[in-house]
Structure 1
Amino acid sequence: MNSVVPPRTAPTLLAVAKRAGVSASTASRCLSGAAKVAKSTQIRVDAAAAALGYHHNSLVGQVMRATRRGVVQNYLGTLAFVTPVADSHEWRETPTLASNWEAARQRAESFGFGITEFTLCSNGMTGRRLGEILTARGISGVLLAAFPVEPHEITLPWDDFAIVQVGHRIASPRLDCVLSDHTEAVIMAARTITECGCTRIGLAIEKYQDEITGGRWSLGYAGLRAAFPSLAAIPPFLPAEMNPDQFLKWVDQHEVDCVLTLSTFRNQPNHMDAWLTRPGRTVPQDISLVSLDVTRVHADWSGVQQHAEEIGRAAVDLLFSKLQAGERGIPQLPRTLQVHGHWHDGQTLRRPRQAGEKLRVES
């Protein structure tokens, strides 16, 4: 059974010193092994630390010693970037995940950390085995990357590490995470789309893409008519795997005038722009196409820029703060940091209506 670590309530060095009847500086020397002390004192301090559940934070010690010497701390250790795939090429082909990685790597280096990728699903790898490898390498900070395909259960010795999820939130256990505001992205897109005169917006993504966000794409979409009452009620198209013929049938059946989608499916570019032209339509004159995650794959598409780079940087910031505070394990109160997106004009949304022709939007 996983233990729960209450946030920001870990025992302090001062509490250990008080229990052992020594000064804080003496307790620090005993726990860090930086200087020799009397054996009896060492025993008292060790016993006090064990009784209180105190764990010496070597990271803070390294930073403080470097600061006192007035030197730059060039290397503090290594962070793990754990990917839930068997092959690193699988997630590197996904633009959002690749951007998470590169930004996280650069941010980690700025703090004095190296960062190494570990694949959780490689041949013969288990959560327990990976935990042993990380411990043997002295790694205590873990970034858990998002799923590029269908989610599955992840098992790690959670209690041994400080962990931050990057770009997603797994259902169990509940961990600290940094991700984009998916629901806000849907509303932001709808606001711009309706201003351009579209009233029949349809969401079309693969089912797993909704599942890895906890259903937030479809939840945001389901709530659009409350804010935009002039929108038609169109059921989302969420197939297990996107098929052009089925997709076009859905578009025709519901007379969709703007498709909300994502830039990739299973690490491959989304080809809806080409599919929509098959019946003789043109994009965006006859039908608009909007991405909820504009990436380099379709940089000319209109849609929402999720700032995957900022998500990677913020994840390292949060992980560094957990390491500094000595936090390990499953937090009692998980923290979620959301990075807001912004609108990217692109070329796949038709021109706005003239002044005075906008749809009414309820506040």
Structure 2
Amino acid sequence: MSQKRPTLKEIAAIAKVTPTTVSLALRDHPRISEATRQRVREVAAQLGYRRDANLAHLMRHLRIPAHRKEYPVLALVSDLDRRMDADPHPNSTWKGFSGRAEALGYSPQEFPIKLDGLSAPRLQSILEARGIGGVIFAALRSPEFVKGMDLSRFACAAIGNALRDPMLHRATSDKFSNTVLLCEHLWASGYRRIGLVIPKSQEIRVEDTFLGGYLTFHFRHQHGEWGSPIAYEGEWNQARILDWVK
């Protein structure tokens, strides 16, 4: 059975100094004379005192003034054409992510792989070199990128539906219910010809949840004044959309 770990107070009582002096002496603080440091070390050795490296690291962190502390980084990986805080919709994602990260004691940082020209191996080497263990994938239009990383080395999660393989824990909006709710608001505002236009690639990525919400709304109201939804491929075709609206 292991013996009880001696406390600083017990060492102080035998060495006839204060616990604060013991703490400083065991850290070789220059405020304490060499003779006192030696006496404290001898008493600590006699009692079988062993320094707790994890506790020492924590105490060093707590002693640093708040304005000088470096908090562990939580990475947000995206492949947008611009940074998330520069785009209205992704900006709301960034605000939610960064606010929650800071509340939990992390420093949020975005890694825009497209803007910075980062390959999967290069991103992984940067994260490992900086000791970043938490990674959130968001707004990934090229989910194949992730397959070039060894995710077993990180704690990972995703925002949105783009990343399907590997399947990670994710946070995403309820697109089905949101679409129904949007149509209900439009209906209550007096609109009767409510249409849906969406990129086909996006609808596939979200497993037809926008379309499902749209059709569910029309099924509930059982009215005929609605157009067939358009899921377009390729570039936005304004002429086709205007013709559909007419």
Amino acid at match of 1:81: L
Q: What whole-Å deviation, never above 9, does each CA across 1:85-113 have from its counterpart, x for those lacking one?
A: 4x544x44431112222332233223222
More helix as a share of residues: 2
- 1:154 match: 145
1:15-94 equivalences in 2 (<5 Å): 65=58, 75-85=70-80, 87-89=81-83, 91-94=84-87
- 1:119 match: 112
- Segment drifting more, 172-181 vs 93-102: 93-102
**Structure 1 residue 162: deviation in Å?**
1.1
Q: Normalising by structure 1, what TM-score? A: 0.45
CA distance in 2, matches of 1:93, 1:250: 33
CA distance in 2, matches of 1:161, 1:222: 40
Contact 2:75–2:136 under 8 Å retained in 1: yes
**Structure 1 residue 146: deviation in Å?**
1.4
User: In angstroms, what is the RMSD of aligned CA positions?
Assistant: 3.3
Kindly tell me the number of residue pairs found equivalent between the two proteins.
Answer: 190
**Structure 1 residue 188: deviation in Å?**
0.6
**Structure 1 residue 223: deviation in Å?**
2.5
**Structure 1 residue 250: deviation in Å?**
0.4
Contact 1:82–1:118 under 8 Å retained in 2: yes
CA distance in 1, matches of 2:88, 2:170: 19
- 1:291 match: none
Amino acid at match of 1:112: G
- 1:247 match: 241
- 2:191 match: 198
1:139-178 equivalences in 2 (<5 Å): 139-147=132-140, 150-155=141-146, 156-178=149-171
Q: Are the structure 2 counterparts of residues 195 and 123 from structure 1 closer, same or farther at C-alpha, using a change threshold of 3 Å?
A: closer
**Structure 1 residue 178: deviation in Å?**
1.2
**Structure 1 residue 247: deviation in Å?**
1.0
Q: Secondary structure at the match of 2:183?
A: helix
Q: Are the structure 2 counterparts of residues 22 and 187 from structure 1 closer, same or farther at C-alpha, using a change threshold of 3 Å?
A: farther
Q: Secondary structure at the match of 1:164?
A: strand
CA distance in 2, matches of 1:75, 1:223: 50
Greater RCO (Cα-Cα under 8 Å, separation 6 or more)? 1
Q: Are the structure 2 counterparts of residues 134 and 221 from structure 1 closer, same or farther at C-alpha, using a change threshold of 3 Å?
A: same
1:286-301 equivalences in 2 (<5 Å): none
Q: Are the structure 2 counterparts of residues 173 and 72 from structure 1 closer, same or farther at C-alpha, using a change threshold of 3 Å?
A: farther
Q: What whole-Å deviation, never above 9, does each CA across 1:68-101 have from its counterpart, x for those lacking one?
A: x79998544111111124x544x44431112222
CA distance in 2, matches of 1:247, 1:136: 49
**Structure 1 residue 226: deviation in Å?**
2.8
CA distance in 2, matches of 1:99, 1:117: 14
Q: Secondary structure at the match of 2:222?
A: coil
Q: Normalising by structure 2, what TM-score? A: 0.63
Q: Secondary structure at the match of 1:230?
A: coil
Structure 2 gap ranges (5+):
6-52
Contact 1:169–1:214 under 8 Å retained in 2: no
Contact 2:179–2:210 under 8 Å retained in 1: yes
**Structure 1 residue 219: deviation in Å?**
2.3
Contact 1:205–1:242 under 8 Å retained in 2: no
Contact 2:192–2:226 under 8 Å retained in 1: no
CA distance in 2, matches of 1:222, 1:151: 29
CA distance in 2, matches of 1:167, 1:110: 22
Among all aligned residue pairs of Structure 1 and Structure 2, give the percentage whose two residues are the same amino acid.
26
Q: Secondary structure at the match of 1:238?
A: strand
Amino acid at match of 1:158: L
Q: Secondary structure at the match of 1:205?
A: strand
Q: What whole-Å deviation, never above 9, does each CA across 1:101-157 have from its counterpart, x for those lacking one?
A: 23322332232221222233457632233122211110000111214xx55423221
**Structure 1 residue 187: deviation in Å?**
0.8
CA distance in 1, matches of 2:113, 2:79: 5
Contact 2:136–2:159 under 8 Å retained in 1: yes
The answer to whether residue 114 in structure 2 is matched with residue 133 in structure 1 is no
The answer to whether residue 172 in structure 2 is matched with residue 179 in structure 1 is yes
Structure 1 gap ranges (5+):
1-20, 26-57, 253-363
1:303-318 equivalences in 2 (<5 Å): none
- 2:217 match: 224
Larger Rg over CA atoms: 2
